[in-house]
Every structure is written in C-alpha cells, then in structure tokens.
Structure 1
Amino acid sequence: MSEQLTPACQAVQSWVAEVVVGLNFCPFAHREVEKQSIRYVDSRAQSIEQALTDLVQAMQELLQDDATETSLVVLSEGFTEFVDYLDLLDYVALTLREFQLEGTLQIASFHPHYQFADTAEDDVSNYTNRAPYPVLHVLREASLAKALARYPYPEQIPERNIKMAEQQGKAYFDTLLARLRAASSVAR
C-alpha cells in the first residue's frame, strides 16, 4: 500500500520489517511485505465502540480489495493497558460472529505488554506478540490456510519463535520497541 502512514503505523511497519520478517516470526509475511499488500490503519479509538467501528471498516475494506492481503489496525491512542485490550478482544470475537465472518477473517493480536496465560510478565516468550502499539491483525482465513498447507510443520512456528526470542533476549526487544515508540512520538 502506498498511502502516507501515520507515525504509529510507521512504527508498526518497522516492527513488521525488523521482527516479524527480520526474525522470521511469520514465515508468510515476507511475501506480503514485498508485494506491499499490507494495509496499515491508524485507529485513534479510546473506546471499545470506536475501536470496533474502525475494525469493521478495516474488515470491509479488506474484503472489497483483492490487492490487500491483510490489514493491521494500529490502536495508536487507546488500549495501552493490556487488560483493557483483552476486554476489546472479547468484543472483537463477538463482532466477527455478529458479522458472520468467522471462517472468512481471523484476528491476531499484538500489544506492547502482551502476556500469555501462565507466563511471567517478563518472560521472553511474550515478545513474540509484543508490538510498539496495540494491533488487531486482520487476516483472510483462506489465504492463511493455503499458506499453512504449503509450509512444513506449521505447528512448530510458535516453538521456533520462542527459541528465537530467547536467543535475542529481553533487552533486545525492550530496546527495539522503545526505539520504535520513541521515533513515532518524535514524528507526531
């Protein structure tokens, strides 16, 4: 996508390049980055209702645009607390169901303070889902299924990502995320 990105979206785009593609956390992302088929949407929502409105619009745009493979809705001004973001995710699931998009679209979640259940807050495995801003990643399920079918042992991707995160270490991710956030704050 060639539209002008906001500073928050630029930070997430850099995170995609450096972490998601650079560390190969998602082996399917490189192709979409190269094709420029990722749409970055800046949502300044601070309420669940507004975030869902922005998400629904992003989902509709994705479904109407075959040139866009995936959308990243960057919550640039709200949901900084992880617990609030988790509340939003509950409503996101209900929204997918309400619009009968389960099986068509899927939402992956990323947050600066992401914490998997049964992990400590500073567990390095959490960095596999930490981004400079809260993000709702809208994926086409059919495309994801196709990519997974071609990839050997896709169930090993999370384990491999955790090993990579452990190799890089917590300080690496803290520094990278702080740098991306700081760059986006200066650009505002």
Structure 2
Amino acid sequence: MQDADNTVIARTLSWVNHFIVAHDICPFARRELARDAVRVEVVRSKKIEVALEELMVEVHWLDEHPETETTLLVFPTLFKSFDHYLDFIELAESILVDQGYEGIYQLASFHPDYCFEDADADDAANYTNRSPYAMVHLLREESVEKAIDYYGDTAAIPDRNVALLNGMGTEAVEQCWQRSCRVDDQD
C-alpha cells in the first residue's frame, strides 16, 4: 500500500527535522524551515520522462515564487532502484543546463538506499543522503552562495558529517534514521 501524499510530506519533514536538522547535517536547513520557506512536492509519476517534466514544472514554479527558498521534490512511486535514480539525476542535471538554469538552480540527491561511490552499502556516512523516499532537493544557487559567504568554510561540512555518523556507528545511525522517518510518535 502506498503512502498518501500527506503522509509522504509528513515523513519527509519529520526526517528533515529529526535527522538532518537534529544532527546538523545541513547547517542551513533549520533557518529555512523556521521561515517556512521549504516546499515539499510529491510526484506520483511512474515514468522518468514525466518525472523530468515535473522537475521543470517545479523549477518554473520556483521562478515565480521567490519567497520559497527551496523544494524537496519527492518520488514515492519511482526509483526503487538506486542505480535508476542516479540515471535520473544525471538526466535532470543535463536538462537544467539545456534549459538555461545552470548557475540558477542546483540539485542535491537523496534516496533510501543512497551509497557514495566506493563506499560500502552499510557505511554510516551514506545516511547523510538517505531519505525516506527518493527525492531531489532543488536549491537556489544564489542562496547557496550567500549561505557559504555567511557560514565560511562549507568544505568542512561533509567531513564533519562523516566523522559524526561514523562515530555514532551504523547501527545507531540506522535506528535514529528509522525513528526520524516515522510520523506516528513525533511532531
């Protein structure tokens, strides 16, 4: 049985709040959530071509709504395979370039089975990009640059995250991640 859209959104926001923000995986997320500037859109497509079209619909929506900082485009019915998801990300990045959006928006990728290249599947560091559903995070490039200017050396963030999660250990991180994706006893 598929999760209803409101459940998909609730699980996604729970994960953002109780994993990403709680562990400071992304030091910029807390502010945007507090400003209510994060949009979560559920895409029910079962075809990559339609998912790419929906991505561009969301890009155009963001163009018209500057008050929304960022969008999490969630695909609960597509991309069960992480490899197929990576193919989609490659196509999505190409379309952004082809449509003239290079330097305007960038993509961050998240998937339940996310695994960094050359990493073991059970490496705790993979959880920095593991999410309850396959999703694409659309970020405004200009805002990313401002955040980097404010924050300073953002290059240290991934190393800090890897050290934090590896220090917790895979089993503890998995349990924490699982709890963060539930909506029944949080929020």
TM-score by length of structure 1 reads: 0.90
Structure 1 window deviating more from structure 2 (48-57 vs 170-179): it is 170-179
Number of positions where the alignment pairs a residue of Structure 1 with one of Structure 2? 181
Task: Establish whether residue 169 from structure 1 lines up as the match of residue 184 from structure 2.
Answer: no
Over 3 Å counting, the alpha-carbon distance change for 1:19 and 1:133 in structure 2 is same
Letter in 2 for 1:132: P
Task: Establish whether residue 138 from structure 1 lines up as the match of residue 170 from structure 2.
Answer: no
Over 3 Å counting, the alpha-carbon distance change for 1:161 and 1:123 in structure 2 is same
Superposed CA offset, 1:18-60 (max 9, x none): 1111100111111001001000000112211111111111111
Residue 92 of structure 2 corresponds to: 92
Distance 1:87 1:150 in 2: 33
Residue 22 of structure 1 corresponds to: 22
Residue 103 of structure 1 corresponds to: 103
- Shift in Å at residue 181 of structure 1? 5.5
- Shift in Å at residue 167 of structure 1? 2.7
Distance 2:182 2:150 in 1: 38
Residue 81 of structure 2 corresponds to: 81
- Shift in Å at residue 168 of structure 1? 2.7
Percent identity at matched positions? 35
Distance 1:130 1:101 in 2: 26
Residue 48 of structure 2 corresponds to: 48
Q: 4+ residue runs of structure 1 moved beyond 4 angstroms?
A: 179-184
Contact 2:12 2:181 in 1 (8 A): no
Task: Establish whether residue 149 from structure 1 lines up as the match of residue 136 from structure 2.
Answer: no
Distance 1:108 1:49 in 2: 19
Letter in 2 for 1:75: F
Distance 2:65 2:29 in 1: 18
Over 3 Å counting, the alpha-carbon distance change for 1:44 and 1:172 in structure 2 is farther
Letter in 1 for 2:155: E
Distance 2:71 2:81 in 1: 22
Residue 34 of structure 2 corresponds to: 34
Q: Helix, strand or coil: the match of 1:144?
A: helix
Contact 2:19 2:180 in 1 (8 A): no
TM-score by length of structure 2 reads: 0.91
Q: Which runs of 5 or more structure 2 residues have no equivalent in the other structure?
A: none
Structure 2 counterparts to residues 59-70 of structure 1, below 5 A: 59-70=59-70
Q: Which runs of 5 or more structure 1 residues have no equivalent in the other structure?
A: none
